[in-house]
Amino acid sequence: MAKDTVLKCSLCNRDKKEAKILIAGINGHVCDNCITQAYNLIKEETSGDQKQQIQHSLNLLKPQAIKAKLDEYVIGQDEAKKILSVAVYNHFKRISHVSKDNKEDIEIDKSNLILVGETGTGKTLMARTIAKLLNVPFCIADATVFTEAGYVGEDVESIITRLLQAADYDVAAAERGIVFIDEIDKISRKGDNPSLTRDIKEGTQQALLKLLEDSIANVPPQGGRKHPDAKMIQVNTKNILFICGGAFDGIEKKIASRMNTQAVGYASSMNDEKIDKGNLLQYVSPQDLKSFGLIPELIGRLPVLTYLKPLDKETLRQILTEPKNAIIKQYKQLFKMEGTKLEFEDAVLDLIVEKAIDFKLGARGLRGICEAIMTDIMYTMPSDEKQTKQFTITIEYALDKLKAARLSHLHVA
């Protein structure tokens, strides 16, 4: 009787006893070790091509070009747009030029940003517009829903899950994306002085630290829940740009206190230049963020700090009508699709702006007021067989609709 043939790997000649798995083919066998090595070789070969594809898809504009594009969508806030444009350009230039040509071996640090400004001043819009301009994945996360491990709430790593979803689960693309963390001020600890018992909000800030700098986030596949035995997708956050925004309601008091109590150095020179008490946000510093309740480690990972001016009546009026995607232009386009030309009396536009100021919601409040005025006509017009070719929103019509929506308690000059 002939001896049984010993099965061996056709590539490395390991026999079945030495290999964990021996996969049979038509004319031979391959062991698990050779399969792993082949996979790693393919991954190395294709990663270079993938990086080139991502680089090609990245539309890296120069700072002045970025600001010019922002000007089309965001009215005012020139200082914030300039700082944001420079920071974003430097960040993507940093990750676009691999350090092969860097003979001095100088590593450029990442410059995450923090935007301070009232609600509705354009923080989210600027971040979203820049991501769209550069053609990179973008997601928005609300800091208020996150907690540190062990508490009820979302894990901070779920931020990366959202970014990965925005990148259609393309890890390489997600690792060059932009994340906007809104309402970062809402996770401030209660006071500047750390207590012996750390509160949950401070713990949430601690949980964000590694994510903002350089860490490997383990993300469940297809957005599922984390499970100890589940295979995770690993995403490196080193080249993800984080932009944080917050209203920091009441921080002006911290700024005023700092500038009045310091008698030498920077504060003294500022006092000599006559401080603009109507816009104290322009003097905001990392020290004020610390006094408000952000921990120093988190502030250190957000090195670029800028502010957004409160929106006055004139700026809100421009926002309503001038940008590419202005609200009034959107309504006119909707009516144009129905074959009707839509017009607004100037007094109506002034009314909408006055109401937005009354609500103290900034540009975000404009949409809600417009909807209250426009809902009825948008409801009836598509079904109207005797549809007019032109419709004008008059001040009487607008006031009537606001009254019906219980939004008419407004003094109009």
Parent domain of 280: 59-98+107-307
* 192 belongs to a structural domain: yes
* 22 belongs to a structural domain: yes
| 263: confidence class by pLDDT, cuts 50, 70, 90 | very low
For residue 120, the model assigns a pLDDT of 84
pLDDT in tens, 59-88: 778 999 999 999 998 888 999 999 999 999
pLDDT, mean of residues 121-141: 90
Same-domain check for residues 216 and 253 = yes
Same-domain check for residues 72 and 53 = no
Same-domain check for residues 53 and 21 = yes
Same-domain check for residues 303 and 333 = no
Same-domain check for residues 272 and 376 = no
Same-domain check for residues 249 and 121 = yes
Same-domain check for residues 235 and 156 = yes
Whichever domain contains 354, its CATH number is: 1.10.8.60
Q: Regarding predicted confidence, which is higher, 221 or 122?
A: 122
* 412 belongs to a structural domain: no
Domain boundary, last residue among 265, 283, 307: 307
pLDDT in tens, 27-43: 888 988 898 888 878 87
- In the predicted model, what is the mean pLDDT of the chain? 82
Domain boundary, last residue among 307, 333, 362: 307
pLDDT in tens, 200-239: 678 888 888 888 888 888 888 765 555 555 678 899 999 9
pLDDT in tens, 402-413: 988 876 544 433
Q: What is the distance in angstroms between the CA of the first residue and the CA of the last residue of the chain?
A: 110
| 377: confidence class by pLDDT, cuts 50, 70, 90 | very high
pLDDT in tens, 237-247: 999 999 999 99
Number of domains in the chain: 3
Percent residues over pLDDT 70 in the chain: 81
* 411 belongs to a structural domain: no
Same-domain check for residues 11 and 27 = yes
Whichever domain contains 137, its CATH number is: 3.40.50.300
Q: What is the 3-state secondary structure (H, E, C) of 323-388?
A: CCCCHHHHHHHHHHHCCCEEEECHHHHHHHHHHHHHHCCCCHHHHHHHHHHHHHHHHHHHHCCCCC
For residue 199, the model assigns a pLDDT of 65
Length of the chain (residues): 413
* 251 belongs to a structural domain: yes
* 413 belongs to a structural domain: no
Same-domain check for residues 68 and 5 = no
* 88 belongs to a structural domain: yes
Same-domain check for residues 13 and 66 = no
* 293 belongs to a structural domain: yes
pTM of whole model > 0.85?
no
For residue 215, the model assigns a pLDDT of 86
Percent residues over pLDDT 90 in the chain: 39
Same-domain check for residues 330 and 259 = no
Same-domain check for residues 301 and 332 = no
Q: Which long-range contacts (CB under 8 A, 24 or more apart) does 236-239 make?
A: 236/175, 237/160, 237/175, 237/210, 237/211, 237/212, 237/213, 238/110, 238/175, 238/213, 238/214, 239/95, 239/110, 239/175, 239/176
